[in-house]
Structure 1
């Protein structure tokens, strides 16, 4: 029974990758048709590994990192601006300046 385990694991991996291809969008498929990717992932192990590497790697050609948006909050200028405004508001409250100057900024 144990000798069949590698075959079952390989088949399960291929099925996982095939369903992942079917559920993916065109961006993750890099413009390659779905049927082609399904045929590729059915190649034992190598096809599935190729799919996982390509679908989860760098952006498609022509797509910049900025087009994908910030990776972390501290890379997002809008988030940093809001943090700065909040910090200024708290400093004014600590000093006793409860005017609406911070709200108008």
Structure 2
């Protein structure tokens, strides 16, 4: 099983580079047209030249607008996690969902009452009324 590992790693890198190239917008592709990069990735994928060239040279790597390196940006910008029961937007969405459920339930109950009344009238032999 271990002898297949290098082949699987090369295949995974080839697939990753190919999909990354496909999903990259044309304005972020450097040097060559996107189609040429795809051909290079496929032709030279077995020797890792195509995928590695794409990852190193072919795509514009975006850095934060502050001009700092990505690691500096992450050190300076921490995000705080908020539990769902402390998040006002989440609580608001729950209330809206409950209102929709209550409205649907009331509609079902009204329809059930109407059908039961209709069945009772039929059992008594009365003519059904048009609602």
**What TM-score comes out, normalization by structure 2 length?**
0.41
The higher-RCO structure (CA 8 Å, 6+ apart) is: 1
**Larger radius of gyration between Structure 1 and Structure 2:** 2
